[in-house]
């Protein structure tokens, strides 16, 4: 899998795009950031999701519970705690 660096307007972190199993993924890593940067980039990243075949993946240093209240109603998410205690959150259109 090859990740392509993409430009995302209003983002302060690097976003990558890749395809896997017929889905398009956009990914960013916010583990080195302090609030509100992770939430800001997640909200900006959600605007990339145009259809049900796209996913936004955010890597966070803790579960971003305050972010969940700001997610639009047509977006669902799945949180997974990683071995290193970071969190991988996958967002998709409902």
Sign of the torsion angle spanned by Cα atoms 57, 59, 63, 67: negative
**For the chain, counts of helices (H) and of strands (E):** 2, 6
In whole angstroms, give the CA distance from residue 90 to residue 25. 9
Count of the separate structural domains present in the chain: 1
Mean predicted confidence (pLDDT) in 27-37? 96
SS3 label, residue 37: helix
Tens digits of residue pLDDT in 36-89: 999 999 999 999 999 999 999 999 999 999 999 999 999 999 999 999 999 999
**What is the structure's pLDDT at 1?**
80
CATH number for position 68? 3.30.110.40
**30 is in which domain, residue-wise?**
4-93
């Amino acid at each position: 899998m090859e990740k392509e660096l993409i430009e995302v307007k209003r983002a302060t972190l690097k976003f990558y795009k890749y395809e896997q199993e017929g889905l398009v993924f956009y990914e960013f890593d916010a583990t080195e950031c302090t609030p509100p940067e992770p939430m800001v980039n997640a909200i900006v990243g959600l605007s990339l999701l145009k259809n049900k075949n796209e996913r936004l993946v955010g890597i966070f240093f803790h579960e971003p519970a305050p972010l969940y209240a700001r997610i639009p109603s047509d977006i669902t998410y799945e949180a997974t705690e990683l071995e290193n205690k970071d969190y991988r959150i996958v967002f998709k259109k409902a």
